[in-house]
Amino acid sequence: MDSDFQEQRFFINFAQYLAVLKTIAILLTSKSDFKIVIIQMIYPIVPYGDPILRKVAVDIEKDSMDVKQLAEDMFDTMYTASGVGLAAPQIGLGIRMFVVDGRPMNEDEEPKDQDSSLIDFKKVFINAQILEENGEEWGFEEGCLSIPGIRADVFRPEYVKIKYVDTDWNEHVEVYEGLAARIIQHEYDHIDGILFTDHLNAVKKRMLKNKLADISKGKVSVDYKMKLLK
Ligand SMILES: [Zn+2]
């Protein structure tokens, strides 16, 4: 357990080190002064089949890493792939953090069809813990950036009560419903090593088996960067 954790920490530090190398360019503008320009850090998305998506992620220790920078990078990565949620394991980090921005789901809807739970629903969830899930289960067609080309109806409870810290390390306990709850439940699953396809019945799973195998063999066609599995 301990050595696992150490390994994990090493990986986080190493990934952060790489992120810094890739994001900071120093431009010499004259002999003496220089500017530091932060360039967007877009991580490749980890595909179905990578073991990191099956691990239960670990809590982040306060001040152990720059969660604000990582959150920005995760948002950039998510927007580039047109996602509404992204969990750290999907960029190869086994830590309990995910970002959401459900606002684009309302953009193409008439005002009367918009989901009010998505208004201002841009957030970062760190060390989240679902305290309660209740209400009637309802189906919604889900997709996942790690499982491109597959969508399926998943049934989940209506309400979710969640405890988490934000990037300033303030603790919150909040209740969500509607599509906001849905996005949280999907992303929260990721930090527990669960994928939306796990919720499908045996028949549906069997139908998707070959498609999933293809993704894990790298046979994917996406317009965003994905990690290649060896
Ligand atoms: Zn997902």
Concatenate the DSSP letters of all residues of 163-224 into one string: EEE-TT--EEEEEE-HHHHHHHHHHHHHHTT--GGGGS-HHHHHHHHHHHHHHHTT----SS
When pLDDT is averaged across residues 135-149 and rounded to a whole number, the result is 97
As a whole number, mean pLDDT of residues 39-60 equals 94
Distance 100 CA to ligand 1 centre (A): 11
SS3 category, 48: coil
pLDDT tens for each residue of 98-124: 999 999 999 989 989 999 999 999 999
What is the residue extent of each domain of the chain?
A: 40-216
d(CA 157, CA 159): 6
Mean pLDDT of 44-73: 97
* pLDDT at 7 exceeding the cut of 60: no
Is pLDDT above 50 for 59? yes
Judge whether residue 209 has pLDDT over 70: yes
Of 23-27, 75-79, 221-225, minimum mean pLDDT range: 23-27
List the single range of 14-28, 67-81, 113-127 with lowest mean pLDDT.
Answer: 14-28
The answer to whether the annotation marks 219 as part of a ligand binding site is no
Ligand 1 centre from 185 Cα, in Å?
10
Q: How far is the CA of 37 from the centre of ligand 1 (A)?
A: 31
| 44 annotated among ligand-binding-site residues | no
Ligand 1 geometric centre to CA of 225 (Å): 15
Pairing of strands 159-165, 34-38: unpaired
Positive or negative CA dihedral for 168, 174, 178, 184? positive
Distance CA 5, CA 77 (A): 26
Asked if residue 181 has pLDDT above 90, the reply is yes
Catalytic residues: 187
Confidence of residue 167 (pLDDT cuts 50, 70, 90): very high
pLDDT at 188: 98
pLDDT value at residue 229: 77
Q: Is 190 annotated as a binding residue?
A: yes
pLDDT score at 1: 45
pLDDT at 152 over 60: yes
C-alpha 112 – ligand 1 centre gap (Å): 28
Residue 67 predicted with pLDDT over 80: yes
Q: Which CATH code is given to the segment(s) 40-216?
A: 3.90.45.10
Percent pLDDT > 70 in the chain is 83
